[in-house]
Amino acid sequence: MSQTYALILHGGAGVLADHDYSAEREHMRHLAERAEGRLAAGDHAMDIVCDVIADLEASGLYVAGKGASPNRAGRYELDAAIMHGPSRKAGSIAALTGFISPIGVARAVMQDTPHVMLAGHGACEFAALKEFQRVDSVNDYYTPAAAPDDREIPTGTVGCVALDTHGELVAGTSTGGTLNKMEGRVGDCPIIGAGTWADDQVAVSCTGQGEFFLRTATARDLAARMAYGGMALDEATDAALGAVGGLGGEGGIIAVDRAGNVAHPFNSPGMKRAVVQAGKPVIVAVN
Ligand code: ASP
């Protein structure tokens, strides 16, 4: 077991300059500190990343899980993905309705099916079969977080990447998608290689205007810049985000490599995030 570990979580790109994010900061710090304790104790990144994302989803503070916004048809369609770097196993769900924890269902797709991705009705049927907790009353459960102070921000996903003491890299992302999305719209988050990616070198989770991250296959682009281009993590992350920006897209990326280096650039107005690295104090920031 190595002494090196690192973890970054994000609560989405985009913040309002004068809004008070102390609840989110406190929540992210709590999750980061708890995750650090587990990493130091030798827990596996797969369990930690899924638990962190489930807590982010359940908090109602971010545009994922409980804090998701309805689409134009008034329905809550959620996307999520998880990827385990060493095995390249991945699971994802798109346009899932009626379940509390999309990331839990994505993990079950990875572990319990021969597939990588389930969407819509099939994803819901699978979640029901696996007895995932349902949302009892849509109107009572969801507390859309996209409009703090009644002002709306268009994006806000949650995600987590980690390197554990076994040397395993894991990435996960979960979202309610962009504000006022069309029914059936799927963003980058559940698309392996766009919003979420992990291999034996790097784990990546993206947030922002998903269409741009889809069009540049951002997460895999970053990994490929390292694998084929020999770039260091921060260089590859900046370049991948630069490609998004080059098309006019806004957002941010969190990434950790196998040496425990971290990168978390954004070109949006802020990105809620917390950073854990062995031997360093936890960093929590929104802009
Ligand atoms: N990337 C997400 C999507 O397009 C939204 C976000 O990150 O806020 O669905």
**Residue 224 zone, left/alpha/beta (φ > 0; ψ -120 to 50; rest):** alpha
Instruction: Please tell me the distance between residue 3's alpha carbon and the centre of ligand 1 in angstroms.
Output: 34
Alpha carbons 60 and 221: distance in angstroms, whole number: 31
Pocket lining: 178 vs ligand 1, CB cutoff 6 Å: yes
CATH code, domain with 52? 3.60.20.30
Q: Please report the pLDDT score of residue 155 as a whole number.
A: 63
In a domain, 139, yes or no: yes
In a domain, 12, yes or no: yes
In a domain, 57, yes or no: yes
Catalytic positions: 157
Q: Within 13 Å of residue 206, how many CA atoms lie on the same side as its CB?
A: 37
Q: Please report the pLDDT score of residue 156 as a whole number.
A: 72
Pocket lining: 67 vs ligand 1, CB cutoff 6 Å: no
In a domain, 261, yes or no: yes
Give the Cα-Cα-Cα angle 152, 157, 161 (nearest 5 degrees).
150
Q: Please report the pLDDT score of residue 138 as a whole number.
A: 85
In a domain, 106, yes or no: yes
Please give the tally of structural domains in the chain.
Answer: 1
In a domain, 1, yes or no: no
Pocket lining: 77 vs ligand 1, CB cutoff 6 Å: no
* Nearest CA-CA partner of 287 in 6, 52, 7, 18: 18
In a domain, 280, yes or no: yes
Instruction: Please tell me the distance between residue 26's alpha carbon and the centre of ligand 1 in angstroms.
Output: 23
Host domain of residue 155 = 6-285
* Nearest CA-CA partner of 237 in 161, 157, 156: 161
pLDDT along the chain (287 residues), means of 10: 96 90 96 98 98 97 92 95 98 97 98 98 98 92 74 77 98 94 96 98 97 98 98 98 98 98 97 97 96
| φ, ψ for residue 43, nearest 5 deg | -65, 160
Q: Please report the pLDDT score of residue 60 as a whole number.
A: 93
Pocket lining: 260 vs ligand 1, CB cutoff 6 Å: no
Instruction: Please tell me the distance between residue 155's alpha carbon and the centre of ligand 1 in angstroms.
Output: 5
